Structure 1
Amino acid sequence: MTRLSCWVRSGLVAILLILAPVALWAAPYAAYVIDARTGEVLYSKNAETRLHPASLTKMMTLYIAFQEIEAGRLSLDTMVTVSANAAAQPPSRVGLKTGQKIALRYLIRAAAVKSANDAAAAIGDFIGGDEATFAVRMTRTARALGMTKTTFKNANGLTREGHLSTAHDMTIMGRHILYDFPQYYNLFSRRSADAGIKRVYNTNRRFLDAYEGADGIKTGYTVAAGFNLVGSAKRGNKRIIATVFGGTSTASRNAKMAELLDLGFARAPNRARTVKPEPPMLLAAAPAGLPGPLLKTSPRPVPRPVTPAIALAMAEEVPAVDTDAIAAAVALAAAVPAPAAAPIISVSPAQASTARPLAKPDTGAAVQLALAEDPDTPAPLVEVAAPELETLAMLDEDDGVQAQGDTDASAPIFIQTATAQPETLAMSRRQAPRNDTVILAALTPPPPAPQARREVVARASSSGGRQWGVSLGKYRSQYAAEQALLKTALMESTALGDGLRKVASRPAGHEALFVGLTQGNADLACARLRARAVDCTVIGP
């Protein structure tokens, strides 16, 4: 009877772990900050630890697509045939169907703005011929760019064994996109875009709207990765690029990114000579019987003149014209298919003399997944994919999980071998304690787990609790109060980092409060906010 009860308890624990909120899984934390002009490192923490990049992967997929356009093998108007693999990808997605033909420009928009997994996979399968071949090219390109600890297994970043990168490498990736393809960089700051079959909305719009000077680059989220972000901002002569791995929520990740960018702007010199990264050289070998590059050059998009009418439309976020660049002047000949499966190799100039075409890997080899003996067998623990949101109501939802939602419902959870760092645990302090031991139902009862020490989080109240807080005043609606709290948290993340955001309904309106602070932090936060012309009041017990 005792053994049976142990089995039951073990099974219940496994079920609870499956259904637990994603916030309970604290991924290891890493951060990296550089001066984008020079590449100088301004801050680094666990930046060389190999972690799950999630949808930050799509930066490399788009980078290779931009390479193909610049080399003349593709154009923005090239019609891409959607593969069965791409159509089967889980959310976030735009709903591509097997065999559907869609212009490359729309797939690029969907992958960059919405972080659509099916769009990224369609780009990869079209260029590489299949997922495995394209992943090989991604990894080779990463090495050519100096991303020495990155290995890619797919085009969209869904969790796969061995699909790993670092905060250092992803910062390098972001800098190369900025300088190697500046004509496409504006894609990452668009709040919305026409993806051909639907309008899509930026997964990073909250941070773009809240942080002064922010204009990119890419978000990422999976259960294994946590909330990731490569961010870039420009103020005056300075441009800073920072990367965060392992955020515990969209808000905490954005607050940490704001703190890192502030640190970067404070440490970067006012004047510095821009030293652009050296782009990799491209070697292409077209298969026998297929033509080489069909275009000698790939005309770059030319910005349209901003007339008063267009400026007004942009201010209202209603595009008066297609804000994409003008399409390539010379389209691919309709009767000649693009050599999509040509093995393309990216090498550094130093490697050019020894580079040779890659042999196509055995695509029939099975990919072994952790916690599952057979890739086709459901794993005992799975990531729960959030439903895709199709309406404008998604604008008010959490853009870290629900709007991006790049989790694979058919893949197992991969637990990082690296332990969670103290900063990650501090970021998740307001959430339920993390269970570092994953217990699966087994034929033998598990050994008794040590009793976890519970952490008591005190909340400010009117019942005599000796806690301090900061009031931002009253607002007409709860939504307005929540927005004020979020923007203020990004503005003053240092002193308010340990505070709890709370909206209290009053007869005169909805009061925006930060509670659970020490008196010192409350005084410091309010002083800094007043210096920035933000009204606030320190509240005490």
Structure 2
Amino acid sequence: MRRTSAFFAVQKPFRQKSLVTLVIALMLAFSLAGTASANPRYAAYVLDTNTGQVLFSRNADAQRFPASLTKVMTIYLLFEAMETGRISKSTPIPMSRNAAAEPPTKLGIRPGSTITVDNAIKALVTRSANDVATAVGEFLGGSEANFARMMTAKARQLGMNSTTFQNAHGLPNNRQVTTARDMAILGLAVREHFPDLYPYFSTRQFNFAGQTIGNHNRLLGRVTGVDGIKTGFIRASGFNLVTSVRTGGRSIVAVVMGGQSGASRDNHMAALIQEHLPRASTNRPSQPLVARGTPLTSSVNVVSVMPERMAVPQFRPRQAAVAAAYAPEQSAPRPVVAAAAPVVASAAPAQRPAEGASAASTQTAYAAPSANRFAPPMPVGNPVREQASAAAANPGVDTMTTNSTRPTGGWAVQVGSLGSEQEAQAFLMRIAKEAGGILSNASGFTEPFTRNGTNYVRARFGGFQSSKEAWDACNALKGKRVDCFAAEL
């Protein structure tokens, strides 16, 4: 009797501690679930990678914007090229003007310079550098568009049947969509297919050009067993995270999408890991859950499907979808960037362009998809201020705009007047990318105004010290078929 009592006396503190921990975890999970239900962008998924069992799933097949989770696929194709001997860690990747013009976050490498494959991978994992992602895409695919087709084709090979890529970095594009389930597949695939290269994803910091760059993934070192993968954020997606955890023989890949802040996303991921990792099996898999498929090259026209070896039915690729994914796009010609001339607009409905801008100028490739297809449209607001606030509250997140507040004094170049803040912001990003070095020392900003009772938003680039500087930049833009005019601030 004494022995039994002594046993319970020793065990009681441990049991109480375990019970308290469990209660706290459950309360946090329920709280987050309640918050998530009010957040239409939320999705989450936890996969036992030893067995293929789904441990948790919320909106796992609802289409979402991947944001910088896109770069996991960019890195996957880099790893594939390294493993097949096409490139090595020391291979130089050239930085084109197109790549160098990508908005932050970026390394800021000058056009004509190069970056090694080794440094490129580290820059993608840590800083989530958009300029490096585009350079990698152009290098491996021959062009951004072709690399995006390669990415989508590889997604089909891996069984990511709900994912389409349009770029290598994840900046806004309403046709670049994925799901939480597909991101789990990708996270597992890059980990299992490249075990010797995967440790790149656990890089805590990266030294480049005299600066030390920290990893955006705050769970590294915070949660036991976390060994990567990647964060992502754009305003339309919310805060995304794919996480790999391996400890005590258990192994999971978890995804959280649509977090309302970096901190809440990380806390929710930590709660999911704490709750579901103990339920994962310690039995090692006898075969891979995600088959590899044929390595892709920039000259591949049709992608063959790998042998059927997948243990999880929903991961199986479809051959027709693979072939279609790599077929040339049959899209309409890209519209010419329209002018925004300083003329007075007559009274008109709000959707009509102002100040001489054509209808084409009010269309943007970065609009959020309609609510009935993918996700709710982006709310009206000031993306620059909102993202600045988000970055301040969540240091190290993947911001995406280059726009600043209105300069005080000097001259500006106006490139458009649009119907909303979102359209103006997206238009500035598009022009900044197309302008190359013309606007390298300028900063974009927006300026609302009202004409005849209708609200508009000017899209401008400031930072010019004189009329001559502004008009020289404007004339150079006109050489790229971007209409504009200079205005004193």
Q: Counterparts of 2:335 and 2:60 in 1: how far apart (Å)?
A: 28
Secondary structure in 2 matching 1:282: coil
Q: CA deviation at 1:215?
A: 1.0
Deviations 1:350-387 (CA, angstroms, capped at 9, x unpaired): 57899699565579932899x98438989997632899
Q: Which residue of 2 aligns with 1:466?
A: none
Task: Work out whether 1:151 is the aligned partner of 2:119.
Answer: no
Q: Which residue of 1 aligns with 2:289?
A: 277
Output the amino acid matched with 1:34.
Answer: L
Selected match of 2:101 from 85, 88, 91: 88
Q: Counterparts of 1:440 and 1:35 in 2: how far apart (Å)?
A: 54
Q: CA deviation at 1:228?
A: 0.5
* Matched ranges for 1:358-373 at <5 A: 358=326, 361=329, 365-366=333-334, 373=360
Deviations 1:222-247 (CA, angstroms, capped at 9, x unpaired): 11111110011112010111000011
Selected match of 1:374 from 361, 374, 377: 361
Change (3 A) 1:153 1:408: farther
Q: Which residue of 1 aligns with 2:34?
A: none
Q: Which residue of 2 aligns with 1:177?
A: 190
Greater Cα offset, 99-108 or 351-360? 351-360
Q: Counterparts of 2:57 and 2:325 in 1: how far apart (Å)?
A: 36
Q: CA deviation at 1:343?
A: 3.6
Output the amino acid matched with 1:253.
Answer: R
Change (3 A) 1:381 1:249: closer
Task: Work out whether 1:201 is the aligned partner of 2:214.
Answer: yes
Unaligned runs of 5+ in 2: 1-37, 308-317, 338-350, 352-358, 368-379, 404-419, 424-447, 456-489
Deviations 1:158-185 (CA, angstroms, capped at 9, x unpaired): 1111111110000000000110011111
Q: Which residue of 1 aligns with 2:240?
A: 228
The two structures have a TM-score, normalised by structure 1, of 0.55
Query: Would the aligned equivalents of 1:106 and 1:196 in 2 still touch at CA under 8 Å?
Result: no
Secondary structure in 1 matching 2:150: helix
Selected match of 1:215 from 220, 227, 237: 227
Q: Counterparts of 1:375 and 1:101 in 2: how far apart (Å)?
A: 36
Q: Counterparts of 1:400 and 1:67 in 2: how far apart (Å)?
A: 36
Q: How many residues align?
A: 333
Q: Which residue of 1 aligns with 2:85?
A: 72
Secondary structure in 2 matching 1:207: coil
Query: Would the aligned equivalents of 1:91 and 1:387 in 2 still touch at CA under 8 Å?
Result: no
Task: Work out whether 1:406 is the aligned partner of 2:399.
Answer: yes
Query: Would the aligned equivalents of 1:213 and 1:234 in 2 still touch at CA under 8 Å?
Result: yes
Q: CA deviation at 1:409?
A: 4.3
Selected match of 2:272 from 226, 249, 260: 260
Q: Counterparts of 1:443 and 1:45 in 2: how far apart (Å)?
A: 47
Deviations 1:244-288 (CA, angstroms, capped at 9, x unpaired): 001111111111101111222132133343532343332667xxx
Task: Work out whether 1:124 is the aligned partner of 2:134.
Answer: no
Identity of aligned residues (%): 36
Q: Counterparts of 1:444 and 1:84 in 2: how far apart (Å)?
A: 41
Q: CA deviation at 1:102?
A: 1.9
Task: Work out whether 1:113 is the aligned partner of 2:70.
Answer: no
Task: Work out whether 1:44 is the aligned partner of 2:57.
Answer: yes
Secondary structure in 1 matching 2:285: coil
Q: Counterparts of 2:362 and 2:114 in 1: how far apart (Å)?
A: 29
Q: Which residue of 2 aligns with 1:136?
A: 149
Output the amino acid matched with 2:240.
Answer: N
The two structures have a TM-score, normalised by structure 2, of 0.60
Q: CA deviation at 1:88?
A: 0.8
Output the amino acid matched with 1:72.
Answer: G
Change (3 A) 1:275 1:197: farther
Whose RCO is larger (CA < 8 A, sep 6+)? 1
Q: Counterparts of 2:102 and 2:168 in 1: how far apart (Å)?
A: 11
Deviations 1:169-222 (CA, angstroms, capped at 9, x unpaired): 000000001100111111111111234674321001x31122111111100011
Q: Counterparts of 2:162 and 2:451 in 1: how far apart (Å)?
A: 36
Q: Counterparts of 1:214 and 1:139 in 2: how far apart (Å)?
A: 28
Unaligned runs of 5+ in 1: 1-24, 286-340, 389-396, 415-438, 447-541
Task: Work out whether 1:240 is the aligned partner of 2:252.
Answer: yes
Output the amino acid matched with 1:277.
Answer: L
Secondary structure in 2 matching 1:384: helix
